Amino acid sequence: MSLSTKYDPSGIEEHWYKEWLDNKLFHSEPDGREPYTIVIPPPNVTGILHMGHMLNNTIQDILIRKARMEGKNACWVPGTDHASIATEAKVVAMLKEKGIDKQSHGRENFLKDAYEWKDKYGGIIFQQLQKLGCSCDWDRSRFTMEPALSDAVFEVFNDLYEEGYIYHGTRMINWDPVGLTALSDEEVNHVEQEAILYYLNYALEDGSGHIQIATTRPETILGDTAVCVHPEDPRYKDFIGKKCIVPVSNRAVPIIADDYVDMEFGTGALKITPAHDENDHEIGKRHQLETIDIFNANGTINEAAGHYIGKDRFVVRDEIAEELKSLGALVKTETLQNKIGLSERTKAVVEPRLSAQWFVDMKKFVADYPQVLDSVMSDEVQFYPAKFKNTYKYWIENIKDWCISRQLWWGHRIPAWYMPDGTEIIAKNSTEALEKARIKSPGITAEELKQDEDVLDTWFSSWLWPISVFDGFKEEGQKELSYYYPTSDLVTGPDIIFFWVARMIMAGYKYQGKKPFDRVYFTGIVRDKQRRKMSKQLGNSPDPMELMKTYGTDGVRMGLMLSAPAGNDLLFDEGLCEQGRNFCNKLWNSYRLIQGWETTNENIEFYSNNSDLIHTWMEFRLNECKKSLKKQFSEFRISDAIMDLYKLTKDDFSGWYLEMIKPAYETPIPEADLKRVKGFFEEILSLLHPFMPFITEHLWQNMEDRNGAYINQTSWPEIKEAKETISIQVFDLISAIRAKRNENQLSPKMEAAISVQTQDQNKYKIAEQIIAKLANIESLSFGEGEGFKVLVGTDEVYIHFDQVEETVDLDKIQSEIKRLEGFLFSIEKKLQNDKFMANAKSEVIDREKQKKADTESKLNTLRAQYSQHS
C-alpha cells in the first residue's frame, strides 16, 4: 500500500477503531492466561469528556494495551455512574425550563424523565472515549443503577445493617441548601475567605451590665440558647449562673461554663446555637440546652426564629447587623480569615444542620478490618506516588461516620420501610419487606408500608465497583470474580482517595477478604500554564473533541503524556499536542522514506564495510530504550517512557540510523539491510502502539500483509543484548563539522579535512566511512592540525575547509570556560560532601570523579586556546 504524502488521522482513526470493535479485539473471557484487569473510574452517566478524563483514560489505555502485548488476558471494564446530585440537578433544570416543578411533578414522573434523560445523553461519553482510542471491553459496560448492581447495593445495605455497621440517627450533618440534601464530610470543600467578626453586647437580665460575645454569623443569634465561658476565666467567674438577653429576639438565656471555650479567641464568651454548629450542639447536649432550628431547608429563615421569616440567611446577616447597630448591641467589627465549607457539587455554602439520616459506623468498620490501613502501609496495596500513603493513613486514623442518605429521588432508594406504628423494616426489596412486616403484624398490607423517601449516597454503589462489575455478589458471577479479582491497577485522581479508593479497599476486605487492586496510580490535576485548575468558569479548559480534531488523537495523547510527570499536576500546553502531531508526521515520513528505497542483492562497498556496525548500534540504542521503558512502567513514569520513545524515534532512528543506512541518491540498498531497517521500525511501532494506537496500527498494517492480525496482538518487544559499536563522540564530531559549515555559511558540498587529538583513535577509524558520508569529509587524520578548533568530549578536533580563513570567537570561548568552571565547582562540592560520599553507590562516585577529570581536561584545552589567540 502506498502512503499519502501527509498524515491525515481523520479517516484512519475511524477505520481502525471500527476494525478493532468488529473483530472483538478488546473482549476478554477467563482462560489460562495471567489476567490483567482495570475497572474504569465510572464517569457520570450524562457527563462529557473533559481534560481530566482524557489524562486518566489515556493512561489506562496505555497500560491495558501494553498488558495485551505482554500476553496477559487484558480486561478493561467500562461503565458509568448514576451521579445522584449532578444528574438530578440537570433533570430539575430541564423540567424548570418547561415550567414543571419537581415536587408537583411527583417522584414516579420525575424518575421516568430522569431515565429518559439518561438514555438520551448517557452514551455520549462512551462515544468520546472510543474517539480517544480506549480499548475497553465494551461488551462488559455496566451502570451503577442497572438491576444487578442495584441488587448488590441493597444486599450490602441489609448486611451492614444486620451487623450493626449501618444505623439511623439524628446528628449534626452537612446540609446543602441548593442541592437540598445531606452531604458526607468528604463532599465538603473547605476554602479560606475574608470574614467579618461582629462584637455584640448581651445585656444581663438582672440589669447589672452586659457580656460581650464575638461571632462571624450574627444571623444565628435568633437560635441562641446560651452563652458559654471557660470555668477558669477570671473575667467571667461572677457571670456563671446568671442569664443574659439575646438582642433582637429578647430571649433570656443562661450563662454556662465549659472547658471547650478558648479564652484567647474573641472575647472569651461564646454564643451557643445548638441547632447550627456541631461544637455548640455537643455543648448543648452536655448542658441540656434547648435546640432552636431557625433555617428552612433552602437556607431561608423559618418561623422558629420569630424575625426575618422567609429571607435568605446572607441577606439577614447584613440586615440584622444594621438592626443590632441601631439597638446599640453592635460594639465593633473586625476582619479576619476563616474557612467555610462549600458543597463539592453545587458550590453552595454548607449549613451545619441537625437531621435524621442514615450512617455507616466507620470507626467500627476499620477496627473490625485492620487490613484497610495495614494493606496500604505494608504495600500490599501499592500507592504511586507513595506520598499519598500518609494522606490515607491520616484519614483512616481520624475517620468519621459516613452519612449515606441523600434527600434526592434519583439514586438507590434506601431499602427501609416503615409500618404504621413507625416500626422500621430493612429488606432487599418490597416483597421481602412485606414478608418481614407480616411476621410482626400478619394483616398488614403493602399499601400500609411506607418506604424511606431518601436515596443512598452515590459512593455507596461505587465502593462495590471492583466486585459488582463482575456480578461478584451473585452465585453466577463467582467464576469471573475469582479470575479477574483482585484487579491489577487503578488509575484515579487523589481528590477521590477518600470518596472512593479507601472505601473500595474497605468493601474488598469486608466482602472478599482481600484487596480490590494491586496498585493505585494517582494522576495529577490538569492545570493550565498559569497553574490554575481547568474549569468552565475560568474558560481555560480546551474542548478535548476539538483538540483531537485539530491535532489527531495520537497527537493529543502524546501531548498529554509529555505534560504529565508521575503523580504531579499536569501543566497542559496545547503546544505539546502540536509537537505530538509533528511527531506523527515524522514517523509517517520516516516510513515513506524507507518505503521508497530500491533494493539489490549485489554487494555494495559501504554496506559491506559498515552495515553490521550501524545495525548493531541501532540494536543497542533500541535495547537501552527497552530497559528504560521497563523501569519507567514499573514506577508509573509514563511521561518519562514516552519521552524516551520520542528521543529513540526522532533522534536515534530517524536522526542518525536512517541517515547512516540510507542509500545514496538513485542507488539501491541491499535487501538484507532494508529488512533490518524494517525490523527496527516494526519494533519501534510496537513500543509506541500503547501510546499512539492509530498511526502505529496503520503503518504496521502497511508494511506487509498481516493476514487479519493486529499490532496489539503482537508480542511486546523483548530486550536483547547488543554493544554500542559507534561512540557518541562520532556523532558529536559529525554535529560539530555541520555546525561549523552553518556558522560560516558554507555549502554542504564543501569537503572538510579533519584532524583529531585523542587517546582512542579507533572509535573514529571504525566509523570513518560513516563520518565521511554524514559530514562530507575528504580526510581523517590524527594529531594537531589546522583550521577551526573544537572540543568533542575531551578530544581536540581541527576542522579545515579550503579557502576559508579561521576566526576564533574569544567571547564564546570565555563564556564556555565560565560555564565549565561553574560545573566543576558543583562537582567538587558534591565530592567534598561527607554525606554524599558515605551514602552514594561506588559507581555513582566514580561517575562524578570521571566528570571532574573530563571537565578539567576541557578547561585546560579552552584556556590554552584562549591564551593562544588573545
Write the CA distances from 284 to 170, 226, 628, integer angstroms: 14, 8, 63
CB 320 within 8 A of CB 218: yes
Per-residue pLDDT averaged across 158-165, rounded?
A: 98
Query: Between these two residues, 856 and 618, which has the higher pLDDT value?
Result: 618
Per-residue pLDDT averaged across 203-227, rounded?
A: 95
* Single-letter residue type at 532: R
Write the CA distances from 651 to 128, 595, 643, 655, integer angstroms: 33, 20, 11, 4
- Rg over alpha carbons for the chain, rounded to the nearest Å, is 36
**Tell me, what's the pLDDT at 425?**
97
Helix axes 574-595, 693-703, angle to 10 degrees: 0
19-33, 465-479, 524-538, 664-678, range with the lowest pLDDT: 524-538
In the structure, what pLDDT confidence band is assigned to residue 805 with cuts at 50, 70 and 90? low
For 68, half-sphere exposure in the C-beta direction (CA atoms, 13 angstrom radius) is: 26
Apex CA 314: angle with CA 312 and CA 318, to 5°?
A: 115
Closest CA to 20 of 698, 550, 643: 698
Q: Fill in the DSSP letter of residue 385.
A: S
Q: Which cell goes with 453?
A: 423517601
In the structure, what pLDDT confidence band is assigned to residue 847 with cuts at 50, 70 and 90? confident
* Single-letter residue type at 27: H
In the structure, what pLDDT confidence band is assigned to residue 419 with cuts at 50, 70 and 90? very high
**Tell me, what's the pLDDT at 123?**
86
CA gap 459, 456 in Å, rounded: 8
Helix, strand or coil, per DSSP, at residue 676: helix
CA gap 81, 84 in Å, rounded: 9
157-161, 189-193, 483-487, range with the lowest pLDDT: 189-193
Question: What is the per-residue pLDDT across 544-579, written as a single tens digit (0 to 9) for each?
Answer: 999 999 999 999 999 999 887 766 788 888 899 999
Query: Between these two residues, 861 and 215, which has the higher pLDDT value?
Result: 215
Dihedral angle over CA of 582, 586, 592, 597, nearest 10: 160
In the structure, what pLDDT confidence band is assigned to residue 534 with cuts at 50, 70 and 90? confident
CB 797 within 8 A of CB 730: no
pLDDT over 70, % of the chain: 98
E-state strands within 44-187: 73-77, 79-80, 142-143, 166-176, 181-183
**Tell me, what's the pLDDT at 808?**
66
Q: Fill in the DSSP letter of residue 471.
A: T
Check pLDDT > 70 for residue 639: yes
Helix, strand or coil, per DSSP, at residue 108: helix
* Single-letter residue type at 328: G
**Tell me, what's the pLDDT at 566?**
63
**Tell me, what's the pLDDT at 537?**
65
Check pLDDT > 90 for residue 809: no
Q: Which cell goes with 723?
A: 554493544
Check pLDDT > 70 for residue 806: no
CB 175 within 8 A of CB 346: no
Q: 252-266 burial, b for 16+ CB within 10 Å, e for fewer?
A: ebbbbbbeebeeeeb
**Tell me, what's the pLDDT at 845?**
86
Q: What is the mean pLDDT of the chain?
A: 93
In the structure, what pLDDT confidence band is assigned to residue 362 with cuts at 50, 70 and 90? very high
Q: Please name the helix (run of DSSP H) or strand (run of DSSP E) that holds residue 35, with its range, or none.
A: strand 35-39
Closest CA to 466 of 503, 411, 432: 503
CB atoms within 10 A of CB 822: 9
CA gap 423, 678 in Å, rounded: 77
Check pLDDT > 80 for residue 858: no
Counting DSSP H helices and E strands in the chain, the numbers are 31, 31
Check pLDDT > 80 for residue 669: yes
CB atoms within 10 A of CB 76: 26
338-342, 401-405, 762-766, 862-866, range with the lowest pLDDT: 862-866
Is residue 62 exposed (0-12), middle (13-18) or buried (19+ Cβ within 10 Å)?
Answer: buried
Strand 166-176 to 351-360 pairing: antiparallel
CA gap 34, 70 in Å, rounded: 10
Check pLDDT > 70 for residue 1: no
In the structure, what pLDDT confidence band is assigned to residue 834 with cuts at 50, 70 and 90? confident
* Single-letter residue type at 55: L
Question: What is the per-residue pLDDT across 169-195, written as a single tens digit (0 to 9) for each?
Answer: 988 899 999 988 998 887 888 899 999
Place of cell 589546522: 786
Write the CA distances from 759 to 395, 762, 796, 850, 861, integer angstroms: 62, 9, 10, 15, 15
In the structure, what pLDDT confidence band is assigned to residue 807 with cuts at 50, 70 and 90? low
Apex CA 651: angle with CA 649 and CA 656, to 5°?
A: 105
CA gap 305, 298 in Å, rounded: 15
CB 484 within 8 A of CB 30: yes
Write the CA distances from 452 to 159, 207, 398, 422, integer angstroms: 18, 51, 30, 11
The residues, any chain, with a CB within 8 Å of residue 757's CB and separated by 6 or more, are: 782, 783, 784, 795, 796, 797
Residue 187 φ/ψ region, left for φ over 0, alpha for ψ in the -120 to 50 degree band, beta for the rest: alpha
**Tell me, what's the pLDDT at 77?**
98
Closest CA to 516 of 360, 375, 374, 404: 375
CB 423 within 8 A of CB 450: no
**Tell me, what's the pLDDT at 143?**
96
Q: Which cell goes with 530?
A: 498559569
Question: What is the per-residue pLDDT across 380-397, written as a single tens digit (0 to 9) for each?
Answer: 999 999 999 999 999 999
Q: Fill in the DSSP letter of residue 100.
A: -
Closest CA to 408 of 790, 740, 150, 107: 107
pLDDT over 90, % of the chain: 79
The residues, any chain, with a CB within 8 Å of residue 481's CB and separated by 6 or more, are: 467, 470, 471, 472, 512
Check pLDDT > 80 for residue 42: yes
